[in-house]
Amino acid sequence: MSNAFFNVPVAKNEPVLSYAPKSKEKIELKKVLAEMKSQYLDIPMYIGGNKIYSDHKKEIFPPHDVKNPLGQYSQGNSGHVQMAIDAALSAKKDWENMSWQDRAAIFLKAADLLAGPFRAKMNAATMLGQSKNVYQSEIDAVCELADFFRFNVRYMTEIYQQQPESMPGLWNRLEYRPLEGYVFALTPFNFTSIAANLCSAPALMGNTVVWKPSETQIYSAAVIMEIYEAAGLPPGVINLVYVDGPQAGEVIFNHKEFAGLHFTGSTGVFQKLWQKIGQNISMYKSYPRIVGETGGKDFVVAHPSALAKEVAVALSRGAFEFQGQKCSAASRAYIPASLWPEVERFLKADLSDFKMGSPENFTNFINAVIDEKSFDKLSGFIDNAKNDSNVRIVAGGHYDKTVGYFIEPTVILTKDPHYVTMCEELFGPVLTIYVYDDEKWAETLDLVDKSSPYALTGAVFSQNRYALAEAFEKLRHSAGNYYINDKPTGAVVGQQPFGGGRASGTNDKAGSHLNLLRWVSPRTIKENFVPPADYTYPFLAEE
Ligand code: NAD
């Protein structure tokens, strides 16, 4: 017990290192990349603090270099999921009784380990395993993740400080208990930081967790687990299993102690999981918390007053960084006819300057897409566009999977604002553009709002304040993260809390107190210092 109210260190965004030629960080990272590339790892699951290997091994290889495996992981089955649930439940009592300062210290230490001794290893794992260039990896796997750890500690203390009023003779209090049971963190391939945040945010609030990452993120997930262990996270608080999603779901969602789902991934999967939880609702001890951040069809809309160069850069960065595999990536754009020739020229110039290849070569801006399934899906959409007289490919359009899953950044021009790639999430380096008549700004805003079921991110470009104000009103529900004269990607923890509405998720804003509130079940305490000793009230007397 501590006889003091401790202040936590002030949370600041982790500075993004430059990796400029000859910089200390670049020299170290190159060394670690070469070391990791030369090793063949045997990656275990982590259950109850034990490393668990199975007989069923699956190989991991870089998406950009599919003939050179990085190692193998042990695939688990239903029995491993059950073991992970048991480990989470048995770790729960000690973990939830641990003081918040101790929980905070573990995750603050994790942030410093990540930003310090683990920085190069975490970047190398993300670059090799998920095919991110060094900048994309640094802003995700190091900076955003360190920010999640540090800012969540601050938000936790801000939540704990929220206390009710007390009248004379009473003391009212609010205790922020963790949920009863275990939380299931089900995480996507595209952000190492999201994978770690989905399991650590509920754990910070006193919950224990079963974590199943995407099978294409296991290489960096294992490094996250190493950091948790080095930071002193007790056994069983976060249990990492590599099990096929539906198979894991069968065990997880059929358990009385299932307390919550922390999900990021595609909309279809999330809807299936919600249905499953709904079907089983009478089985659970408590109503499970369901938090899901899902797909997007993120827009850029330019007013005729916008500056062509700014719009083009927002498109070349916003649509193609990390091969468009960001939930926030611009994938549909609405450009006025008067601006299009200039935007097209600038955009094509950027695209022809992009170099594509392995992230191990730092001059490559574009790397591979995550796996063969994604490659086949994207190349299918590109082929369809090539064969459709309503659309024209104005840049890119080539693809090749002989060395790795490379899709050239591709721009499709369509005359149909409802063309399939203007509406559906593709999740790759394909941007579709609809050129509108300059007079039709208001109608275009309606198109932006109504063409897709998603509402994650969106960007409006204009030099005209009336036009910006009109868009702000009309697009109120079209994006959970709304950008004015900026690209729709690159949200920073503590600055632009992230999440969308409609089919894009429950909008619980990762990296804010709103998310942490979902992982607590408050208990109200009223203490009466001098309880009444007579049941009667004054009104009972006649005179
Ligand atoms: P995904 O939906 O394919 O997979 C997410 C996780 O769910 C993985 O761990 C996967 O193994 C698991 N899974 C898949 N099917 C399952 C099933 N039937 N039962 C149980 N588990 C199952 O998503 P992904 O391809 O890894 O990630 C890309 C998607 O994530 C995109 O749609 C993207 O928009 C979205 N995303 C959204 C945000 C956001 O904040 N809104 C952030 C990142 C990614």
Residue 102 Cα to ligand 1 midpoint, Å, equals: 32
pLDDT computed for residue 203 by the predictor: 98
Choice from 73, 217, 264 to test ligand 1 binding pocket (greatest atom count within 8 A of CB) = 264
pLDDT computed for residue 201 by the predictor: 98
Residue 135 Cα to ligand 1 midpoint, Å, equals: 23
Residue 258 corresponds to which amino acid?
Answer: F
**Strand intervals (E) in 319-446:** 330-336, 391-395, 399-400, 406-407, 410-414, 430-436
Residue 231 Cα to ligand 1 midpoint, Å, equals: 28
Residue 373 Cα to ligand 1 midpoint, Å, equals: 14
Q: What is the pTM of this model?
A: 0.98
Active centre residues (catalytic): 293, 327
- Using CA atoms, how far apart are residues 180 and 259, in angstroms rounded to an integer? 6
Tens of pLDDT along 339-382?
A: 999 999 999 999 999 999 999 999 999 999 999 999 999 999 99
Contact indicator for 216, 234 with CB cutoff of 8 Å:
no
Q: Which atom of ligand 1 is nearest to the CA of 189?
A: 26
Tens of pLDDT along 90-119?
A: 999 999 999 999 999 999 999 999 999 999
Contact indicator for 294, 265 with CB cutoff of 8 Å:
yes
Residues of the chain above pLDDT 70, percent: 100
pLDDT computed for residue 505 by the predictor: 98
| Residue 28, CA distances (Å) to 118, 220, 287, 358, 430 in order | 11, 18, 48, 18, 34
Q: Whose alpha carbon is nearest atom 22 of ligand 1?
A: 245
Mean pLDDT, all residues of the chain: 98
Q: Which atom of ligand 1 is nearest to the CA of 498?
A: 40
**pLDDT over threshold 90, residue 294:** yes
pLDDT computed for residue 2 by the predictor: 81
Mean per-residue pLDDT for 34-49? 98
**pLDDT over threshold 80, residue 1:** no
- Using CA atoms, how far apart are residues 210 and 215, in angstroms rounded to an integer? 15
Q: Whose alpha carbon is nearest atom 42 of ligand 1?
A: 327
pLDDT computed for residue 346 by the predictor: 98
pLDDT computed for residue 80 by the predictor: 98
Residues of the chain above pLDDT 90, percent: 99
Q: Whose alpha carbon is nearest atom 28 of ligand 1?
A: 265
Residue 476 Cα to ligand 1 midpoint, Å, equals: 26
**pLDDT over threshold 80, residue 512:** yes
Question: Which residues sit with their C-beta closer than 6 Å to ligand 1?
Answer: 186-191, 194, 212-214, 245-246, 249, 264-266, 269, 272, 293-296, 327, 425, 427, 456, 498-500, 504-505
Q: Which atom of ligand 1 is nearest to the CA of 214?
A: 9
Q: Whose alpha carbon is nearest atom 39 of ligand 1?
A: 293
Choice from 218, 241, 266 to test ligand 1 binding pocket (greatest atom count within 8 A of CB) = 266
Q: Which atom of ligand 1 is nearest to the CA of 370?
A: 25
Choice from 130, 253, 267, 327 to test ligand 1 binding pocket (greatest atom count within 8 A of CB) = 327
Counting Cβ atoms within 10 Å, is residue 387 exposed (0-12), middle (13-18) or buried (19+)?
exposed
Residue 211 Cα to ligand 1 midpoint, Å, equals: 13
Mean per-residue pLDDT for 478-488? 98
Q: Which atom of ligand 1 is nearest to the CA of 246?
A: 19
pLDDT computed for residue 226 by the predictor: 98
Six token digits for residue 198:
């989905």
- Using CA atoms, how far apart are residues 148 and 123, in angstroms rounded to an integer? 16
Mean per-residue pLDDT for 201-229? 98
Neighbour count for residue 26 (Cβ, 10 Å): 17
Tens of pLDDT along 47-76?
A: 999 999 999 999 999 999 999 999 999 999
- Using CA atoms, how far apart are residues 63 and 372, in angstroms rounded to an integer? 8
pLDDT computed for residue 404 by the predictor: 98
**pLDDT over threshold 90, residue 255:** yes
Tens of pLDDT along 223-247?
A: 999 999 999 999 999 999 999 999 9
Domains of the chain: 32-294+505-526 (3.40.605.10), 298-484 (3.40.309.10)
Rounded (to 5) percent helix, strand, coil in the chain? 40, 20, 40
| Confidence label for 431 from pLDDT (cuts 50, 70 and 90) | very high
| Confidence label for 543 from pLDDT (cuts 50, 70 and 90) | confident
Find all residues with CB under 8 Å of 355, minimum gap 6, and list them. Answer: 363, 364, 365, 366
Choice from 75, 78, 145, 190 to test ligand 1 binding pocket (greatest atom count within 8 A of CB) = 190
Residue 266 Cα to ligand 1 midpoint, Å, equals: 4
